Structure formats: structure tokens, C-alpha cells
A and B are shown apart, each in its own frame.
Chain A
Amino acid sequence: MNIDSIRDGYVIDHIAAGKAMRLYQMLGLDGLDCPVAVIKNVPSRKLGRKDILKIDSRVDLDLDVIGYVSPNATVSVIRDGKVTEKRHLAMPQRLVGILTCRNPRCITTTEQGLRQEFVLSADGRTYCCKYCESPA
């Protein structure tokens, strides 16, 4: 399987296997008109299997989304065909405007102009609504 190299864009590597399509949707990549490659179930020494996303454009990437969906993912920034920066992600402390609170009693369901905000719990694994503290 041949996929052209990226000239100017990003390679999101070490995505947990099976999470690439969720990331593709949450990052809004379906709205781009540049080449985007979704590579699934690639053999990996570290993870066993992994997914990869390649984006051939300098779009604004929301790293919090990537850290939330797959905290072990890496993001390589490609400029003129070369890797200029490699970022290791972690679960972000806050997620703003990414998740929606499912608690029907939460103030976010009625208050105009209030952005959804979730905070990482003390366990370091789950997110809770900043306002009502319901789990994501």
C-alpha cells in the first residue's frame, strides 16, 4: 500500500488501534479538501497495532482532542517534506467545547453562551463536567 509523503502538514502516529475514525470526525477532517490518509491497524512494536492519520495541509489541529481520544499519540509537524517538530501528547487538564454534558439537570443544557467544559478527574483517566461534575 503506497501513500504519498506529506509535504506540509502533520502525521499523527501511535493512535490507539480503532480510534483513528473517531479522531478523524472530532478533528473535523472530513471537511478538508486536502489529501488525508487514515491508516488503520498498522503493526507496531510498542502497541501491537496502531492507527495513523496523515494530513497534507497546515490546518489548525486541536491537540487537546488528540490527547483526549488517544493520549499516547504523537504529532509530527512536516515542513517541506521534513519533520520539524514532534510532540508527545498527554490527557489535557481541560476540554473546552469538545464534549457535551449528558446530564439533563446541568446548567449547560439551558444557559445561553455557556461553553461546555470538562476537567480531568483526580484519577487521571476520566473527565467530569466542570459545572455539574457528571462523568463524560
Chain B
Amino acid sequence: MTRHLLNILDLSVGEIDGLLRLASEIYDRPADYRDACRHQILATLFFEPSTRTRLSFESAMLSLGGNVLGFSDAASSSARKGESVADTVAVVSGYADVIAMRHPKEGAPMVAAAHSLVPVINAGDGGHYHPTQTLTDLMTVRREKGRLSGLTVGLCGDLKFGRTVHSLLGALTRYGGMRFVLISPDELRLPEFVRRNCLDATGVPYTESRSLEEVMGELDLLYMTRVQRERFFNEEEYLRLKDSYVLTPEKLRSAKPDMLILHPLPRVNEISTEVDADPRACYFRQAHYGRYVRMALILALLGKEKIEP
């Protein structure tokens, strides 16, 4: 049966740990893997613009010796002519060995997986999920913090449409001793389905706050997110909420000395550029780790490396 990655919860904790181990191994010894996917093709179907995720997938496949084809926005695909996701994927899965797809509509990768002959990786679907960003986030925490348990994690900004937040919460609740602090304006609070599935169902403790400063000192990890203009139907509401939280060196004064600052990027102005020099800021290293977890994932989905469940 063809294996897909639509939601981070499609992977067991054992599989995630296996992927992170493999990603670290590739990170430390990239030359050992440079021909691992020779003569294989990754299709990047990006119905929504992306820089980091698409380039990271392409870099991952090229670093494995494979090839890449695809499109980088819906306007340059048959979607513009009204072709369905199902038809697009049914065709492309005959041209490639693995597909990475980003789509603005939530649940689109599930439709793709149902019509694909090859593995489909969800590279972000609307405000829903972004599992490879989560693998990237987990690799960052594991490498920078040395563990994935016993952490107080602050999630700040757009928790409503922030798909990276939804996927990360789902993954972290499965590790022991986690506690979450949800920091957002009322309008961008965590959606009910995530609260129900990730927090209520697991009983993991969490608190909510509107103020970042009030909770800063408690956090081992601060995950900042951008308020995304493209998720709003109403421009006025976006303008009102976009600067809800801006992380500055002054606000970091009360933070723990070893707190990690993560951000899925792109950043607009929610983290001041002055913070970049702070050793706790690891969002650029985080983006680099993304290439290695995607290499590990491609190897696993193509059956080149076995990941134990």
C-alpha cells in the first residue's frame, strides 16, 4: 500500500523518532546519501506560492541525486483551466515517484492521496496542517535542546489559521511532560477541532494568555507565527490584528537564558531583526534543518530507508 504523509499524526512517535535520527545522520554525513535517489523524480505541485518549503523540498531531492519537476503557483498549472486536484494528481503521479503538494484548500492533499499512484506529502493545506514543517520543528528542538519532553511550549500569534501550530501541537502532545501556553488575540484563538483532538483528547495541560510578556519567563520554547494576510477575507481585520505581537530584545529580558525562539518563516515584523543576533534565536537554523528532514522523509516514503514503527 502506498504510504502518504497528510497529517503528522499519520506517523507514530517511533516513526518520527526514526525520521529525526535519519535526518540527523544525513545532516552529519550528507555525502553518504548524495546518490540515494538517483534517477527518481519528485513533483512539487504548489497551488499556492511558497519559497522555503518548495525550495527545501527541491534541495532535498537534488541533494539525494534525484530530479525535480512541477509548478510554483496555480496560475501556471491546469488548475487555472478548472482542472480538479484529483485529475491533476492522477496524471502527475504517472510522471513522478513522489509528490509534494501545497494547496490553499484544506483537505486537498487527502483528495490527492486518494487519486495518486505514488506517495503524496502534504506541504501545507490552507490553515489545516503542515507536517513537514513539524518534522523540521521537532528536529530543531531535538538538536538544539537535546530532548523532546518536559518542555513548556509557548505558541504565539495566529493560532487559528496557523497550520504549523496545529501540526506541531498534535506531534508534541505525544511526548511526555509537555505543557502549552497559547498566546493569541481572541480572534485568532486555536480552532475547536485542534483543541478537541490535540489537547482535550490527550489531557495535556495548557493555559491561554493574551499577553506574551506575562508568560515569557515560563517558556522553554517560544514558537512565533505570522498573522497571514492570505487567510483573511476581510483586509480590515488583518490590519487590526497583524501587529498583535512583536518580539523585541526588551521583551526577551524576562525569558530563560536557554529558551529557544522558533518561527516557521517567512517573518514579516513579528520578530524584530534585532533579535536575530540573540543566541536563543534559531529560526534560520530551523529552516536549514528542513532540508534534512525532507531528505529523510523522501528516503522513507520511497522505501530507500526503513523506518521502524
**Cβ of A107 and Cβ of B103 under 8 Å apart?**
yes
Q: Which residue of A lies closest to B82 (CB)?
A: A112
Q: Which residue of A lies closest to B107 (CB)?
A: A131
Given contacts A107-B111, A135-B193, contact A112 B106 (CB under 8 A): no
**Cβ of B193 and Cβ of A106 under 8 Å apart?**
no
**Cβ of B86 and Cβ of A111 under 8 Å apart?**
yes
> B306 near A: Cβ within 8 Å?
no
> B273 near A: Cβ within 8 Å?
no
**Cβ of B86 and Cβ of A133 under 8 Å apart?**
no
> B70 near A: Cβ within 8 Å?
no
**Cβ of B201 and Cβ of A132 under 8 Å apart?**
no
- A128–B106 CA distance with the chains assembled, in angstroms: 13
B189-202 to A contact mask, C-beta < 8 Å, 1/0: 00011001100010
| Chain B residues bordering chain A, tally (CB within 8 A) | 22
**Cβ of B107 and Cβ of A132 under 8 Å apart?**
yes
**Cβ of A131 and Cβ of B196 under 8 Å apart?**
no
> A105 near B: Cβ within 8 Å?
yes
Partner of A122, one of B106, B111, B201: B201
Partner of A103, one of B106, B197, B233: B106
> B85 near A: Cβ within 8 Å?
yes
Given contacts A111-B84, A112-B84, contact A129 B192 (CB under 8 A): no
> B229 near A: Cβ within 8 Å?
no
A117-136 to B contact mask, C-beta < 8 Å, 1/0: 00001110000111111110
- A80–B242 CA distance with the chains assembled, in angstroms: 69
**Cβ of B126 and Cβ of A123 under 8 Å apart?**
no
> B104 near A: Cβ within 8 Å?
yes
> B264 near A: Cβ within 8 Å?
no
Q: List chain A residues, Cβ under 8 A from B126.
A: 105, 132
Q: Which residue of B lies closest to A129 (CB)?
A: B107
> B128 near A: Cβ within 8 Å?
yes
- A133–B107 CA distance with the chains assembled, in angstroms: 8
**Cβ of A105 and Cβ of B106 under 8 Å apart?**
yes
Q: List chain B residues, Cβ under 8 A from A108.
A: 107
Q: List chain B residues, Cβ under 8 A from A2.
A: none
**Cβ of A107 and Cβ of B108 under 8 Å apart?**
yes
Q: List chain A residues, Cβ under 8 A from B196.
A: 121-123
> A25 near B: Cβ within 8 Å?
no
**Cβ of A107 and Cβ of B106 under 8 Å apart?**
yes
> Can you add 4 more A-B contacts, CB < 8 Å, to A107-B103, A107-B125?
A107-B110, A109-B105, A132-B128, A133-B107
**B: which residues have CB within 8 A of A?**
84-86, 103-108, 110-111, 125-128, 192-193, 196-197, 201, 231, 233
**A: which residues have CB within 8 A of B?**
103-114, 121-123, 128-135
| Sampled A-B contacts (7; CB under 8 Å) | A105-B127, A107-B106, A122-B196, A131-B107, A133-B128, A134-B106, A134-B193
